[in-house]
Copies of this chain bind each other. A is one copy, B any other.
Amino acid sequence: MSILVVGSVALDTVETPFGRADEALGGSATFFSAAASLFCPVQLVGVVGSDYPVRALDFLAERGVDLAGLERAEGESFRWAGKYAFDLNSRETLETRLGVFAEFQPKIPAEFRDAEWVFLGNIDPELQLNVLDQVAAPKFVACDTMNLWIDIKRDRLLDLLKRVDLLLVNDAEARQLSGDFNLSRAARWILERGPRYLIIKKGEHGAILFTPHSTFFAPGFPLEEVFDPTGAGDAFAGGFMGHLAQCGRVDDHDLRRAVIYGSVLGSYAVERFSVERFKDLAMDEIEDRVRSFREMTVFELPVDAGV
């Protein structure tokens, strides 16, 4: 029941109103693995340059992230630098240096090819398709994408959608992809293009799961202090896939609960810089917050209340 993740492994320099982190661990595969490995083993495929502090990934290896698919290429690692506004909702990218990531060609190690649970982090849809060609018979494939690919690789992205079970995007991406501002109609448009399930993430406003038969809303967890929003989406994906893989099945109940686990891991991600919060996050804390989500959303129907 391990999960294969393919994505970026980067060094992030982040400035927020609360402080600054220099060349901290970042990238979609890193955040995903840090969250998912709290639930089950993870197989990571990515690339770093010869300058990457690979020892900093030891904490992942120690809790079951198999780094056999992490290629070390000659050259510079992927670096991203960004600055968040005071409201932490908008950010400015100060620098993106792709380095060895620009030539990344995912090679799935033989021992990863029978993966049942696959998460395709936000990389070129060509490469995401290429990964799917290398895995034998996955039980459940989820993918992420971004505005750049919707813009310049739309056709390949649409090809990809036919081959995945779930697409995970934010509200702006769902609108851009479908060309429809209304999220319900945007969701229907996307589901008609292949994926059986869709999750639309709305940041502080929560996340929506669309299935062929139902819609499920999870609120954003109300934090009084948001420290660094970087990686929240990938941590969400990690919690979501981690819980599903742990269940070993995908029914409506599992998917809903997985959205809550995703929301919980996303909410923890933002409490510190980089993946710091995941280093000592205990399962008890995760379960506590899952129960908080229930308390925050449960209500009695009139018939239960005798009204």
Interface residue A202 (Cβ < 8 Å from any Cβ of B): yes
Asked if A256 lies at the interface with its beta carbon under 8 angstroms from chain B, I say yes
How far, in whole Å, are A293 and B217 apart by their CA atoms in the complex? 9
Q: Is the CB of A257 within 8 A of B294?
A: no
8 A Cβ contacts from A279-305 to B: 287, 290-291, 293-302, 305
Contact A301 B290 (CB under 8 A): yes
Complex formed: what's the CA distance from A25 to B106 in Å?
A: 62
Q: Are A181 and B86 in contact (CB under 8 A)?
A: yes
Smallest beta-carbon distance A26→chain B, Å:
24
The answer to whether A82 has its CB under 8 Å from any CB of chain B is no
* Chain B residues within an 8 Å CB radius of A217: 206, 219, 296-297
Q: Does A299 lie within 8 Å of B253, measured CB to CB?
A: yes
Q: Give the interface segment out of A60-68, A73-81, A182-190.
A: A182-190
Contacts A202-B205, A299-B294 given: A307-B181 contact, CB under 8 Å?
no
Contacts A287-B302, A302-B287 given; does A184 touch B297 at CB 8 Å = no
Interchain CB contact under 8 A, B86 and A185: no
Verify B254–A223 contact, CB threshold 8 A.
no
User: How many interface residues does A have (CB within 8 Å)?
Assistant: 47
A216 interface contact, C-beta 8 A: yes
CB distance from A267 to the nearest CB of B (A): 12
Interface check A170, CB cutoff 8 A = no
Cβ–Cβ < 8 Å partners of A297 in chain B: 216-217, 297-299
- Closest CB-CB distance, A246 to chain B, in whole Å? 7
Contact (A294, B305) CB under 8 Å given A184-B222, A215-B222, A226-B182: no
Contacts of A246 in B (CB 8 A): 307
Q: Return the chain B residue nearest A294 by Cβ.
A: B301
A306 to B, closest residue via Cβ: B247
Q: Is the CB of B219 within 8 A of A206?
A: yes
Known: A87-B181, A214-B296. 12 other contacts (CB 8 A): A183-B222, A205-B205, A206-B219, A215-B222, A215-B296, A217-B296, A246-B307, A253-B300, A256-B300, A290-B301, A291-B301, A298-B298
Q: Which 10 A-B pairs have the closest CB atoms?
A: A217-B219, A205-B205, A256-B299, A184-B222, A297-B297, A184-B224, A87-B181, A253-B300, A185-B224, A217-B296
